[in-house]
Chains A and B, each alone.
Chain A
Amino acid sequence: MGLLNFVKKTMGGEVKHAQVATEKKVEATKEIKPVTNKIKIGHVHMSGCTGCLVSLADNNLGLIKILDDYADLVYCLTLADVRHIPEMDVALVEGSVCIQDHESVEDIKETRKKSKIVVALGSCASYGNITRFSRGGQHNQPQHESFLPIGDLINVDVYIPGCPPSPELIRNVAVMAYLLLKGNEDQKALAGKYLKPLMDLAKRGTTGCFCDLMNDVINQGLCMGCGTCAASCPVRAITLEFGKPQGERDLCIKCGSCYGACPRSFFNLDVIPEFENINEIIAGALKEGESDD
C-alpha cells in the first residue's frame, strides 16, 4: 500500500484506491490521460478455492482492457492491497459464508451495505456447491462446519453459476455492468435485458442440483435432449440415455450449472437471437488499440 500510494502521490494522482496493476504505476505516462468514467469492482473472498478469481484473471488481455478502460479493481485480497471493504459499484463475491466465522458473516453484510450490485461469482456463492458437503471437524478450526450460499444471508442481484464460472461469462457481466451504470439509454436497455435472466436466477433460490433439471425442465415437459447439461457438468455426472439426461446424483456437487446452461431453463428471445450483434459489441468493447497502451 505504502509504495503504491507513494508512486501515485509523486505523480500528482489523487489517492483513491489501490489497483491491481501495480507494475503500471511506475510508468509516469500512464496517468497523463486517466480514465475517469470507470466503475468500481471488488472481489470479495468468502469460503471458496480462488478458482473463480483465477477464471476472472483468465480473461488475460481482456481483463487488462477492462481494468484500463471500464473498471477499477478497488478490493481484492489476492491482487490488491486494500484491507477493508470499500464502497463498490459491483461486488463479485466468491465462495460461501461460514456462519461460525464471525468475520466472514460481518464481511458479507458489509459487502451488501457498500455495494450497488452484488454478484454471486461462481457456484459456491450462488448455491453452496461443494461446500454443501462440509461436515467440519478439520484443523485448525474444527468448529467451522456450516457453509451457506451468500443469498441465504443477504440479497443477491446477479448469479454467475459455474465451477469455476467461465471467464467469458464473467467478462460479459463486467462489460454489461459497465454499460448499465455508465452507458447511454440504448446500452442501459441492452445491459438490463442481458442481465435479467442472471438476476432471475438470483431470485429463484440458493440451491442448485441436477434435480433442478428433473423438477423444472424434464418434469415440466420442456426437455428436448440437446445435451447442453452434460456439456456443462464439471464432474461429468450427466449422461444422455436415449436422448434424455440421467444424473449420477452421488457425483453431483450441487453447482447448479446444468440448470443455468439448459436452453429450457431460460431462453430470452429479446437477447439470444441478437447473438451476432452482442458478440460484436463485447468484442468491440475489448478491442485493443483504443486504450492508452
Chain B
Amino acid sequence: MIEDPYLGKYVTCVSARSTDKEILKKAQDGGIATTLMVYALEQGIIDGTIVAGEGDKPWQPKPEVAMTREDILKARGTRYSISPQISWLKEATRSFGLDKVGITGVCCQMQAVRKAQLYPINMRDVPGKVAFTVGLFCMENFPYKSMQSIVEDHAAQSLGSVKKMEITKGKFWVYTERGNVATVPLKATHKYEQPGCHVCLDYVSNLADISTGSVGSPDGWSTVFIRTKVGNEIWSKAVAAGLFETKPIEEVKPGLDLLRKLAKEKIDKNQKTVEERKTFGVNKGLRNPYA
C-alpha cells in the first residue's frame, strides 16, 4: 500500500485502455469506468450502478440507476456539469431493489458514499450494499449555465452541435459534430466554477475502490489507481479476463509527476481557501466542514 499526501492511498497505479471497441467509441479517454461497471454487472458483483446519464437539455448530466449494459453505455463520456449521483444511493437499495450497488462519481461523491457508510444518517441498508465504487479525477465542476456560457458565449459553439468536451493542456476544448474545434483558456473558465468545489481537498478520488482519469496517461489512455481490497480483486479479474490493455505508469508520458503536480496545485489552493474562510469577515469566519 502506497500512501501519498496528494494521491491518497493506493495498491497500484497503471495506465490502461479498454479493449471493448464499442465502449471506446464514445469514451472520454480509456473507457475504464464504463468497462469496469459493465464487467461488475455481468459478473454479478453489482446488480446495478448509479451513472451520470443524459439529462433533458443538451450535455446536461442526470443521475440514473443503470441495470443493463446498454444503460451503462449511455453514460459514456464526460459531461462537465453537476450530476447529483448520491441522490439515488438509498433509492437504489429500495425502489430498485439492488442488494449490490455500484457507484460512479467524482471525488466529493466518493466522500459522500464513505460518509454514508460510516455515518449512515437516514441511510438504512446503504452501508452494507455499496459493492463497488469507481471515482473520477476532478479539478472542479460547473453549474449547467456555467457550462452553457463557456460553450456558447466563450467558445461560440451551439451546445446541441457539440460532440465532445474536454479539459486538458490548460484549455477547455469543444469538438463539434461537423469537425470544428474551439478552445477556451482555463483562465477564462475559472470564474464559472461551482463555489463548493473550492474547499474540496481531493483530486484523484482517494476514497473510491478504483479511481481513474486522463491525467498522466497518453491520449486515449487513462491513469488508474487501485485503492481497496474490493477494487484490487475486481481489477485483477478484469485484467485477467482481457478487458484492459495496461502499461506500467512509470513507462508512460507524462506520468505520475504531472498528476502529482496538478493534485498538489488543487489541494494546496483549496487548503488555502479553507484557511482564508476562517477570517472571511471581521472577527467572523465562514464555516469549516473539516473542523
Contacts and interface: CB of A to CB of B under 8 A. Distances in A.
Contacts of B88: 227, 231
B144 interface: yes
What is the interface residue range for chain A against chain B?
35 or more
B229 interface: yes
Nearest to A236: B91
Nearest to B138: A224
Interface in A250-271: 255, 257, 260-261, 263-269, 271
B115 A227 contact: no
B171 to A, nearest CB: 23
Interface in A269-293: 269, 271-273, 275-276, 278-279
Contact of B143 (A167, A242, A271): A242
Interface string B241-267: 000000000000000000000000000
A44 B83 CA distance: 42
A106 B216 CA distance: 65
Contact of B144 (A227, A243, A264, A279): A243
Contacts, number: 170
Interface string B92-116: 0000000000000100110110111
B229 A264 contact: no
Contacts of B198: 221
A261 B286 contact: no
A291 B88 CA distance: 37
Interface string B17-42: 00000000000000000000000000
Contacts of B286: 220-221
Contact of B122 (A242, A261, A265): A261
A103 interface: no
Interface string B196-210: 111111000011000
B121 A220 contact: no
Contact of A225 (B8, B82, B90, B128): B82
A51 to B, nearest CB: 11
Closest 10 CB pairs of A and B: A243-B82, A227-B84, A227-B87, A224-B196, A257-B122, A230-B87, A225-B82, A166-B124, A260-B121, A232-B122
Interface of A: 55, 160-169, 172, 194, 197-198, 216, 220-228, 230-234, 240, 242-244, 255, 257, 260-261, 263-269, 271-273, 275-276, 278-279
